[in-house]
């Protein structure tokens, strides 16, 4: 019994360490691809359009309606204390400091993350990633780098628009 528990804990610990190691190697490869040519500017622009511009309506609507709900809920609470004049300050501060960036990040992660995952998984199944290896093209540089750079560029802009 005790040996089974120790065996299970050991297997899970090793599996966790392997996952952390794989993620670390992947992250290092993605970051190190920044300094190596080519840059694939056309892919970066295409991803900027997809990640940034096409996420604008989702982020704008989410933050707008969250702000409206927050204002409505603040009004019901503050009206009990005759502090309706403080509603705008509370809503602006809570949206700009906390809620706006979190909601923008969640919306972009949900929308774009699912799409990118499905796209790369489809490429993997249809052996397009193997074709990139055959063409001596680094898949990390070609597939991951434009998306990471675009997310780094687009997210602050989306957060600013969202708040």
**In a shared domain, residues 117 and 48:** yes
**In a shared domain, residues 23 and 45:** no
**In a shared domain, residues 67 and 134:** yes
Q: Is the CB of residue 145 less than 8 Å from the CB of residue 33? A: yes
**In a shared domain, residues 47 and 26:** no
Per-residue pLDDT band at 71 (split at 50, 70, 90):
confident
**In a shared domain, residues 92 and 150:** yes
What pLDDT score was predicted for residue 83?
A: 76
**In a shared domain, residues 18 and 72:** no
Domain tally for the chain?
2
**In a shared domain, residues 90 and 19:** no
**In a shared domain, residues 24 and 46:** no
Interval 120-158: pLDDT, tens: 999 989 988 889 888 988 888 888 888 888 988 888 888
What pLDDT score was predicted for residue 63?
A: 87
Q: Is 13 a residue whose pLDDT tops 80?
A: yes
* Dihedral over Cα of 58, 59, 60, 62: its sign: positive
**In a shared domain, residues 61 and 110:** yes
**In a shared domain, residues 48 and 73:** yes
Average pLDDT, the chain: 87
pLDDT (average), residues 55-84? 86
Q: Which domain holds residue 25?
A: 1-32
Per-residue pLDDT band at 100 (split at 50, 70, 90):
confident
The number of angstroms, rounded, from the C-alpha of 131 to the middle of its chain's C-alpha atoms is 27
What pLDDT score was predicted for residue 77?
A: 82
Question: Would you call 5 exposed, middle or buried from its count of C-beta atoms within 10 A (0-12, 13-18, 19+)?
Answer: exposed
**In a shared domain, residues 27 and 50:** no
Interval 32-63: pLDDT, tens: 888 888 888 888 899 999 888 888 999 889 88
């Amino acid at each position: 019994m005790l040996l089974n528990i120790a065996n299970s804990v050991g297997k899970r610990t090793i599996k966790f360490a392997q996952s952390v190691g794989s993620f670390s190697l992947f992250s290092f490869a993605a970051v190190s691809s920044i300094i190596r040519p080519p840059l694939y500017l056309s892919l970066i622009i295409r991803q900027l359009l997809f990640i940034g511009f096409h996420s604008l309506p989702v982020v704008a609507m989410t933050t707008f309606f969250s702000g409206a709900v927050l204002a409505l809920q603040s009004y019901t609470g503050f009206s009990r204390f005759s502090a309706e004049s403080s509603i705008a300050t509370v809503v602006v501060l809570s949206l700009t400091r906390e809620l706006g960036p979190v909601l923008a990040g969640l919306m972009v992660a949900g929308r774009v993350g699912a799409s990118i995952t499905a796209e790369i998984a489809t490429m993997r199944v249809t052996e397009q990633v193997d074709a990139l290896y055959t063409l001596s093209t680094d898949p990390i540089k070609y597939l991951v780098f434009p998306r990471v750079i675009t997310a780094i560029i687009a997210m602050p802009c989306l957060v600013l628009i969202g708040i």
